[in-house]
Structure 1
């Protein structure tokens, strides 16, 4: 018995070695890792049926309780039996593949065992088929209940099925005395030998599945890393600069030898191999890209011929080209090229497909954000156009009157009026401008107003030195000063005082406009700036517009507050974050182009 146990361990080792070698093959790993469709089930039946056949051929011939042969067996003597690992392969096949695979592998291995002969041939054939059925049934049940197929579970099923085989030998094989003697001799080595083999085999299967999970986790992390680094550039849309940055990031973080991005008409970026002839601003040269742009389907090429590059000496030999979509419209392609076809494996293909979907979503979000900003810009410019018509007419009347009495003063006011409206035009074209330009606009406005109403109010500027270059939204300060003049001092005989304080505090730019005018009632303070407010002179557009722009531009990090007391004056405070680098960078281009 001990000699048989040692030989059984050798036979188990053969199967385990074969299983390990197979586990290094991509096709085998793919079959084990994927959900089993008809083709995969057929392959699993053939695979685990083959394990059974190998076990039959490499089994140990037992003749009258002694080891007769432990070599390659093609037939058995009539009074001989076979000790092997056949049931192990069938059980593992059934547990992993379900009843269909279990029955199929059992039939293949069982029928083959029957052809070898021996007085236990029929009993062993039947027990092998039954083992496949039962293993498949319990494997399927375990999966349906949401439990994993563990090595412990498989070992238990394998040892039970080997025990069932011993029982069937006792029931079916004749004569009974010989069957009983055989079972006593082989039961322990076969039950525990197959149990050990099943355990080792399942360890290999578990390692394959862990590798898949680890690969998926790495893919997910890699995709998130790429998405995080490329998102700022996708927000700029598809242009030469953004696409080159995106391609550089992808080349660094993937296994691709070259990355290319196109729009519908031209190559926007190509970095990596073959950059000498895949040049930005040129038309897409590969037939593969043209095909994807036309049909909108992913294309994979695994040879230079399939890429269809017009340059014969092109070093690119494999590629995956994916469409980029915005609202179901193809707006370009993402291309990952490889100099060796074997580098374009399933992992790279799945990563590329995931990134293409992710990039399409980012482009859609960028387009939606751009449309929102365009709409907001249009609304702001429409409001800006309505701010000053009455001021223009009043200023012209004042200048017209001065032309007869003080020509020099009239000339100066014309320059101030010109400066004021020039500032308005610049503000209408920009989302942000330097504080000093806003102050210039305010001073021009005040110069014209104080000419119309001399000695009516005094303006006190308190500006912290060195902050003139800070960017702020245009028309932030001037409308508040205008409100203080028109609503703070109506029909007032005493001189009003307006204090304009601008300073930095705790990484915030503070803008405070305070007057000693008539103040605002509490019921109006509660809604001012939060909604349009009807009044005799307007509808609260200026304060509401400023508040909405501050919230939109600074993502809720800026704020406008109003404090007032009737007959004691009003204070309007604005707080803008000084560290909003992203906001300033985003609008710097429009600032310079304006």
Structure 2
């Protein structure tokens, strides 16, 4: 029995070497990442089916107590059997690809084992198919991609090997020969195949972990590039700002050239092709015109797709990213490559992230322009509350999360984008729905709760039919922000309650906290005029009250009540329109 162990180790070594070589192949790594597609499943069936076939051919020949090692077995005598690593490949295939892959691999490896013969042929074939189906069904809960315990996955492989031994005892005839065979091969096959499964899974998980690390690094790189280009994109799409931004992007990416355009002309071009892609000239490629027209990311992998008018243009591949502001395409960012092989999945994901971040920066630039042009002094004062510190603090939080929780970092990026988008849209609207305002609040709170976990709790008590009521933008979010920024008390956790209910044909909006409260001296002033203090200026409260008075014409529609060391309560009354009450 024990002399079988080194021979089985040799067989496992063959599959491990093959697995390692596959893991270095770009195509195989992509298949592991996208195993849900039908084409990828078929390829996985072929790959792991081939592992099963190789295992059958390279098995160790067993005859009674004799163990015969030879290179390949093309047939097995009727009273003989083979010990191999077939179940290992089948189990891993099922755990990676699911039921379809598990069944496919099991059928290939099992039917091939049947063709080799031997008194265990039927038992081995059936156990192989069973292993493929069972591990495929277990994939949803214990799949390698699910980041489950390594040992739980290895245990499944060991259990499948034990199941094979049981099926051999049940089906293989004569029984005493089957029993003697299991006594010889069971322990070595279970131990060695368990060890091989462990090594194989470590290789697969290494692929997955490398992919996650790459994504995290790309997210971090995208944030860093966005931070470096922020001062320039906030100036808008000008030749100077675009040239400086293009230099930064060129330096920090693998692209061979960077180009930025507006709708009509090239504003900046850095890198290869600068001799004819000159700033202030008209657009040189049909690819750019198509991206600007459709507003979608377009990828080109050949000169023919780029369609540059210059015959000797060295650019062979490109990613064209539409730059958007206020839901309109205002220009494009192009990453060019002289070798199409450089344009891999990582570069595409980086480009996609940059497109979203740069579009947000351009919206900030547009908001800055609108802020300068708008005549409404209250809106301008409220926009001034959108401190750059919040953006940079949020980016720092996201950057730190990238190393520990990439998924949470991505979710925070989405909330950050929602927060600033609502800021920009609210600055151009007189009224928004309560639902939209609550979305703005949720985005803000998600970011703040990540930065200050367990420091405060916000509870919402909103009557559902009031969510479509129109209210002035920036009504709730600044009130909640004030509570979080100024009401903290060391003695207790801050609790903020937001209520919305109907009363006498009005919607009552209440924001109440249990914080430090406001002194009587300040309470008489705050909300009626701006003030200067260490805690703040009171601009947000004054602005909200002023706009409500101008829209609804009643001073009592906005009220502040506060007691020191007890908390603050802000009440707002919004008259309900007839359509809302009837709805």
Q: Tell me the TM-score range normalised by the shorter chain.
A: 0.5 to 0.7
Q: Check whether the contact 1:94–1:102 (CA below 8 A) recurs between aligned residues.
A: yes
**How far apart are the structure 1 equivalents of 2:538 and 2:12?**
74
Number of residues of Structure 1 aligned to a counterpart in Structure 2? 398
Compute the displacement of 1:372 (Å).
Answer: 1.8
CA pair 550-283 structure 1, distance change in 2 beyond 3 A: farther
**How far apart are the structure 2 equivalents of 1:380 and 1:64?**
91
The answer on 1:112 being equivalent to 2:112 is yes
Aligned equivalent of 2:342: 343
CA pair 250-149 structure 1, distance change in 2 beyond 3 A: same
Counterpart mapping for 1:284-323 below 5 A: 284-323=283-322
**How far apart are the structure 2 equivalents of 1:241 and 1:355?**
20
> Which has more radius of gyration?
1
Compute the displacement of 1:106 (Å).
Answer: 1.0
**Could you list the runs of 4 or more consecutive aligned residues of structure 1 that deviate by over 3 angstroms after TM superposition?**
376-381, 525-532, 548-552
Q: Check whether the contact 1:247–1:271 (CA below 8 A) recurs between aligned residues.
A: yes
**How far apart are the structure 2 equivalents of 1:350 and 1:147?**
22
Compute the displacement of 1:69 (Å).
Answer: 4.3
**How far apart are the structure 2 equivalents of 1:264 and 1:320?**
17
Compute the displacement of 1:138 (Å).
Answer: 2.6
Superposed CA deviations along residues 186-232 of structure 1, whole A, max 9, x for unmatched, are 11211111011101001101111110111011011101101111111
**How far apart are the structure 1 equivalents of 2:176 and 2:189?**
20
- Other structure's SS at 1:2 match: coil
Q: Check whether the contact 1:84–1:190 (CA below 8 A) recurs between aligned residues.
A: yes
Superposed CA deviations along residues 105-126 of structure 1, whole A, max 9, x for unmatched, are 1111111111111110100011
Aligned equivalent of 1:28: 28
Q: Check whether the contact 2:35–2:97 (CA below 8 A) recurs between aligned residues.
A: no
TM-score by length of 1: 0.63
**How far apart are the structure 1 equivalents of 2:211 and 2:264?**
39
TM-score by length of 2: 0.64
**How far apart are the structure 1 equivalents of 2:65 and 2:525?**
101
Q: Check whether the contact 2:96–2:143 (CA below 8 A) recurs between aligned residues.
A: no
- What is the alpha-carbon root mean square deviation over aligned residues? 3.0
Aligned equivalent of 1:128: 128
Superposed CA deviations along residues 401-426 of structure 1, whole A, max 9, x for unmatched, are xxxxxxxxxxxxxxxxxxxxxxxxxx
CA pair 549-158 structure 1, distance change in 2 beyond 3 A: closer
> Structure 1 residues 228-237 or 33-42, which shifts more?
33-42
Gaps of 5+ in 2: 381-520, 541-583
Q: Check whether the contact 2:78–2:118 (CA below 8 A) recurs between aligned residues.
A: yes
Compute the displacement of 1:46 (Å).
Answer: 2.0
Aligned equivalent of 1:6: 6
Counterpart mapping for 1:50-449 below 5 A: 50-142=50-142, 148-376=147-375
CA pair 147-294 structure 1, distance change in 2 beyond 3 A: closer
Compute the displacement of 1:17 (Å).
Answer: 0.4
**How far apart are the structure 2 equivalents of 1:207 and 1:13?**
18
Superposed CA deviations along residues 484-540 of structure 1, whole A, max 9, x for unmatched, are xxxxxxxxxxxxxxxxxxxxxxxxxxxxxxxxxxxxxxx9x97699559xxxxxxxx
**How far apart are the structure 2 equivalents of 1:112 and 1:147?**
31
Aligned equivalent of 1:16: 16
Compute the displacement of 1:380 (Å).
Answer: 12
Q: Check whether the contact 1:48–1:93 (CA below 8 A) recurs between aligned residues.
A: yes
CA pair 527-155 structure 1, distance change in 2 beyond 3 A: closer
CA pair 187-208 structure 1, distance change in 2 beyond 3 A: same
**How far apart are the structure 2 equivalents of 1:189 and 1:531?**
84
Compute the displacement of 1:259 (Å).
Answer: 0.4
- Other structure's SS at 1:353 match: helix
**How far apart are the structure 1 equivalents of 2:69 and 2:209?**
40
- Other structure's SS at 1:322 match: strand
Q: Check whether the contact 1:139–1:149 (CA below 8 A) recurs between aligned residues.
A: no
Compute the displacement of 1:76 (Å).
Answer: 1.4
Superposed CA deviations along residues 421-465 of structure 1, whole A, max 9, x for unmatched, are xxxxxxxxxxxxxxxxxxxxxxxxxxxxxxxxxxxxxxxxxxxxx
- Other structure's SS at 1:333 match: strand
